Structure 1
Amino acid sequence: MSFPDSAAIAARRQHQVQRVLYVTLGLNLLVFLVKLGLGLATGSLSLVADALHSSADSASNILALLAARFSSPEPDEEHPYGHSKFEAIGAMGIAAFLGMASFEILSTAVGRFFEPQPPLQVDGLTLTLMVGVLGINLFVAFYERSWGKALSSSLLLADARHTLSDVWVTLTVLLGLAGIHYWGIPWLDQVLAVPVGLLVFWSGWEVLQENIPFLTDRVAIPPKTLRELVLSLPGVLDCHDITSRGIPGQMIFIEMHMVVEPLDVESAHRITEAVEQLLQERYGPVRVTIHLEPYSHIEGSQP
């Protein structure tokens, strides 16, 4: 069965995801340029590494825009189930960026213990600009996170986590620069960078854990839950052989076998439409395939 209303809802959602990504891309580019300029001006390798991490934010935004562009839930001749998995693939790409950023941060921190560094030139203006950059990072992270939850977008949530990891990196670099400026402790820079690099790696691991189940078609809704919901409708005698995949709130594909009370096709069709409406009200956009069976299939049915 095909449901244009569900596809239209999901398509509007994709446009909203893209609008959020354009806003965050502009802000992340601004953050990158400020950090890179300060890093070159002060000679701080950790600040340059932080700028590199922020460039990964911008790159992940571009990747996310491409993924959102090609992850339309509307089917075509070559993709009858739509293109939703492109979004999860984009999230996996963001996980890769997190891993690369983590490696860069840790390798830079370790290298600074063994290679002599020139004195860093840190002043009050540098610290003030870094506080402003930190504020932008926080705004972007919570802006993306709120929209990600509202739109049930794994892509926005993954990108928000990436940006939030940049907040920790920026805070660490800021503490290191403050230590150099106020207390003359140059090694704070690389010492604090180590736990932050590990936090960035952990963020990437969490993104992998969240998106691999979707790519491997893990059950979206327990069959028992769906069966109990469908059996609550008048006229439904049995429901079994239920499968589901996808992301609740984004797009779910459901298949089931059902036995209904009416014998005529028109009445049975009305019940299947009622099932679709109920599932859509409960779980958001859905595409349902229902196989009607005769009374003899009630016995021995499985949830």
Structure 2
Amino acid sequence: MMQDNRSQVRKVLWLTLLLNLFVMALKLTLGLASGSLSLQADALHSITDSVNNVLGLITNRFSSPKPDREHPYGHQKFEAIGALGIAAFLGIACFEILRGAVEKIFLNTESAAIKVTSTELWLLLLVLGINIFVAFYERNVGRKVNSPILIADAKHTMSDIWVTIIVIAGLVGVWQAKNLNIPQLEWLDVILAFPVALLVFYSGWEVIKENLPWLVDEMAIAPEAIHDTVMEVSGVLNCHEIASRGILGRQVFIEMHLIVDTNDIIAAHKITETIEEHLEKRFGKVRVLIHVEPPDYEEEDISFGSTEPIA
């Protein structure tokens, strides 16, 4: 049986939701006080963090690994769907950052309207510290309980860290431009927005790359690895048409056709149980479906569509 870690995930999501709401409010207040469009845009970007937490709480409610009548294979794909939702928000954030930078280049050239104080910069460092704590906390717990929604949200928060760093660097440039007599520093706020947008986009792509294989039932374990493990069991003569899906370490389903060296049903059943034990020992929690066949059904192909014979 798959372990249900949803309660741990919910605790993390509620804590990070409260912290993200505080960060968003502080950024928006500082952005309006200083007149910094980049900081206001960063506050809008932080809204997606809170939305992600709410989305995570919703999908967590429906993502039980335990099967039921309507969902005989469990509900964990709901978490993958939630992670893809986070990827969509990252894409929106990327677009908004680029749009804001372009608008500032062509429509808002009066950087003098921005008023930055050392107090505001120190408060932004506090915001940065909170984001760093949230990102690493979510990532560590997500890896511990194998939660894709926490890992995806940690990537999103990590992108928010980079955005905040860029905003601080740009505001420091504006703050010191006149003191250092380097007016070009006033454009740091805009120029550094472009690499930040790329970092946000990359984070979204990583989330998609990690969760899409689960949703499209991509192979979870190489059939050759499964075949080698099965053939180690005494009494197995042939194993073919091996298929697997899911995510290794999270939830994996394995199917195979098997030929055993016995005509006794009870003995054949004991062999299949031994196979399940071997597979679980090597690959972790798996759910195995074995179709026992007579010797005449022996095949050389290990997996569906395989062209390589069994060694």
Q: TM-score, normalised by structure 1?
A: 0.92
Select the residue among 133, 146, 166 that pairs with 1:172.
166
Select the residue among 34, 47, 55 that pairs with 1:42.
34
Determine if contact 1:151/1:249 at 8 Å carries over to the other structure. no
Residue of structure 2 in register with 1:56 after alignment: 48
- Greater shift, 142-151 or 188-197, is seen at 142-151
Q: Provide the rounded CA distance (Å) in 2 between the counterparts of 1:266 and 1:250.
A: 31
Tell me the CA shift for residue 22 of structure 1. Answer: 2.1
Residue of structure 1 in register with 2:282 after alignment: 282
Select the residue among 157, 161, 169 that pairs with 1:163.
157
Tell me the CA shift for residue 220 of structure 1. Answer: 0.5
Select the residue among 8, 25, 32 that pairs with 2:24.
32
Q: Provide the rounded CA distance (Å) in 1 between the counterparts of 2:300 and 2:49.
A: 54
1:265–1:291 distance in 2 versus 1, CA, 3 Å: same
Determine if contact 2:83/2:149 at 8 Å carries over to the other structure. yes
Q: Deviations over 1:50-82 (max 9, x none)?
A: 111111011111111211221212222222212
Q: Provide the rounded CA distance (Å) in 2 between the counterparts of 1:93 and 1:302.
A: 36
Aligned ranges 1:102-121 → 2 under 5 Å? 102-116=94-108, 117=110, 119-121=113-115
Residue of structure 1 in register with 2:240 after alignment: 240
Residue of structure 1 in register with 2:217 after alignment: 217
Tell me the CA shift for residue 299 of structure 1. Answer: 5.2
Determine if contact 2:240/2:300 at 8 Å carries over to the other structure. no
Q: Deviations over 1:121-151 (max 9, x none)?
A: 2111111111111111111111122222222
Greater relative contact order (Cα 8 A, min sep 6): structure 1 or 2? 1
Determine if contact 1:242/1:256 at 8 Å carries over to the other structure. yes
Letter in 2 for 1:94: I
Q: Percent identity?
A: 54
| Moved >6 Å (runs of 4+) | none
Q: Deviations over 1:95-114 (max 9, x none)?
A: 11001111111111111122
1:127 aligns with 2:136: no
Q: Provide the rounded CA distance (Å) in 1 between the counterparts of 2:67 and 2:78.
A: 13
Kindly tell me the number of residue pairs found equivalent between the two proteins: 295
Tell me the CA shift for residue 282 of structure 1. Answer: 2.3
Residue of structure 2 in register with 1:92 after alignment: 84
Q: SS of 2:113's equivalent?
A: coil
Q: Provide the rounded CA distance (Å) in 2 between the counterparts of 1:299 and 1:110.
A: 62
RMSD (CA atoms): 1.7
Residue of structure 1 in register with 2:291 after alignment: 291
Q: Provide the rounded CA distance (Å) in 2 between the counterparts of 1:145 and 1:134.
A: 17
What runs of 5+ residues in structure 1 fail to find an aligned partner?
1-5
Q: Provide the rounded CA distance (Å) in 1 between the counterparts of 2:269 and 2:40.
A: 63
Q: TM-score, normalised by structure 2?
A: 0.89
What runs of 5+ residues in structure 2 fail to find an aligned partner?
179-184, 304-311
Determine if contact 2:223/2:302 at 8 Å carries over to the other structure. no
Residue of structure 2 in register with 1:196 after alignment: 196
Tell me the CA shift for residue 23 of structure 1. Answer: 2.3
Tell me the CA shift for residue 14 of structure 1. Answer: 2.8
1:229 aligns with 2:221: no
Q: Deviations over 1:267-302 (max 9, x none)?
A: 222222222222222222221111111233335453
